[in-house]
Every structure is written in structure tokens, then in C-alpha cells.
Structure 1
Amino acid sequence: MKKHTLSFDMSVYDSINELPETDKKIMLKAVEARNNAYAPYSSFFVGAAVLLENGKIVLGNNQENAAYPSGLCAERVAIYQAAAIYPNVKICSVAISATSKNYKVLEPAAPCGNCRQSMIEYEQKQKEPMTLLLMGEEGTVVKCNSISDILPLAFSNSFL
């Protein structure tokens, strides 16, 4: 038997104001998108902003549905929209921000498993890492250098 340790480095900022200017810009866009989310059932509002290699920023937010499996998370809305509008343009960064009507979200909200798998697919496709920025409604911002950091044993098309 062999043991292996998986680890990664991430940057933790005390607030959005500490971010480099480009990161701050896309996080503010994620907050803007979050404010337009459709979340009448969970009251948990998530916004995502995707920065593309061509400088365009594409927004997404969670879209709930009374038939729960029919909804879609903000991350996938933004990435799928970016791929539909700008096919073959690389994704540089994804910023995610979350808030709730029921409580104050002070911790960075991490993507769900479905979103992690969807994002890693695009990172694998473009063969370049995508920066990931995570924030609650305010406070701490976490910056990861790659989606593979948060999904190190990812499923890929190599298994098919």
C-alpha cells in the first residue's frame, strides 16, 4: 500500500476590497447576478460571473423550480451561457457569491458537486486552469488557482 496526500494552496482575502482589480470586478459582477437569482423556495441566492479570455464577462444565477431537480445552479448557468455565446473562448476565472433571506452568509459558498464536475470539464477541455473566487454576501473571499484544486480526483472523458 502507498499513501498519497493531496493538497492545494489558496489565497484568503479579508474582503472584496483586498482583491486585485480584475478579481474585484468579476466578484462585483457575481454580486450583481446574485441579486437577480430566482430562489423562491430556498431563499438562497447565488450569482456567478465568468471572465473570458476575450475580456467578456458572462453572468449567471441560480434558477429554482418547484420540481426541484429542474432548477440550475448559478455556476452552470454562467458557464453554459458563456459556452453558448462564445464557443471555444477560454474561461479565465469564475466568481461566485451567495446570500440568503433567512440568515447572513458570511462564509464563502463553495460550488456543489454537479457544478464542480461541470466546471472541471471546461477546464480539462481548454487545458488551462480556471481561477475560482468564492464569497458569501460579504467578508472573506477565497481564491483557488484551478478547479482541479477543489476536485482533485475528477471524472473525465478519458474514462469513457
Structure 2
Amino acid sequence: MKNIEITTSAIIFKDISELATEDQMLMQQAILAREKAYAPYSKFSVGAALLLANGEIIFGSNQENAAYPSGMCAERVVIWSAGARFPGVAIQKLAISAKSAHSLVDKPVGPCGACRQSLFEYEFKQEQPFEILFMGELGEVVKVPSVKSLLPFSFDNSYL
């Protein structure tokens, strides 16, 4: 038997005001994208903003459907949009913000498992990590240096 210890790192900021200027700007874009979510069923809106190496900022929001499995999370909307519009351009940072119509979301909301795997595919493909910042509607912001920080024991094409 082999016992290993998995470690990860994150920086937790009190709120958006503690972020560096570039990170604040990107999170503000995620908040704006969140307001464009189509979430009539869950009433849970998520926005994402992605900064590319060429300076472009791509936006995405969750898009629900009455046939629940047919909807899509903001993180996958934004990463696939970037991949389609700017193939080969490196991703530098991703910001995510979530809000509920039912209650105040005052703690950070990270990507779901499916989104983590989709994000990792792009990080693996570009052979360099990208930062992820996430928050709720207000309050703390979590910043991680890489998708691998959120997804240890990642699955990539080396297994295929």
C-alpha cells in the first residue's frame, strides 16, 4: 500500500476590493455576464469571464432548458466559446460569479465537476496553467493558480 498526500493552494480574499486591478475588472465582467444568464428554473445565475493572452475577454452565462440535462453551465459556455473563436490562444484567467433569486449567495461558488473536467482539457492542451477566481454574489473570493488545484488526479488524453 502507498499513502500519498494531496495538497492544493488557494488565496481567499475578503471581497472583490482586495483583488488586483486586473482581477477586479475580470470579476466585474463575470458579474455582468451573470446578469445575462437564462435560469428560469433554478433561479441560480452564473456568469464567467475569461481573459485570453491576446487581451480578448470572452463572456458566458448558464443557459437552462426545460429538459434539465440540455442546459449548460457558464464555465463550459465560456471555455467552448473561447476555443471556437480563438483556437490556440492561451487562457490566462477565468472569473466566475453566482447569484440566486432565492437567497443571498455570500460564499464562493466553484465550478461543478463536469466544468472542472472541461476546463482541465483546455489547461492540459495549452500546456500551461491558468488562474481561476470564483465568488458568490458578494463576499469572499477564492483564487487558485490552476485547474489542477480544483481537480487532483485529473484525467487527460494520456489515458486514452
| TM-score class, shorter | over 0.9
Residue 2 of structure 1 deviates from its aligned partner by 1.5
Give the secondary structure class of the aligned counterpart of 1:133: strand
What's 1:57 paired with?
57
Q: CA RMSD in A?
A: 0.5
Paired AA for residue 43 in structure 2:
S
* Equivalence map 1:37-48=2 (5 Å): 37-48=37-48
Give the secondary structure class of the aligned counterpart of 1:128: coil
Paired AA for residue 35 in structure 2:
N
Count, aligned residues? 160
Residue 156 of structure 1 deviates from its aligned partner by 0.6
Residue 8 of structure 1 deviates from its aligned partner by 1.2
Whether 2:145 is the aligned partner of 1:145: answer yes
Instruction: State how far apart, in whole Å, the 2-side matches of 1:76 and 1:8 are.
Output: 23
What percentage of aligned pairs have identical amino acids?
52
What's 2:23 paired with?
23
Structure 2: runs of 5+ lacking an equivalent: none
Whether 2:123 is the aligned partner of 1:119: answer no
Instruction: State how far apart, in whole Å, the 1-side matches of 2:50 and 2:109 are.
Output: 16
Residue 83 of structure 1 deviates from its aligned partner by 0.9
Structure 1: runs of 5+ lacking an equivalent: none
Give the secondary structure class of the aligned counterpart of 1:64: coil
* Equivalence map 1:79-94=2 (5 Å): 79-94=79-94
Q: TM-score, normalised by structure 1?
A: 0.99
Paired AA for residue 158 in structure 1:
S
Give the secondary structure class of the aligned counterpart of 1:96: strand
Deviations 1:42-92 (A, max 9, x none): 000000000000111000000000001100000000011111111100000
Q: TM-score, normalised by structure 2?
A: 0.99
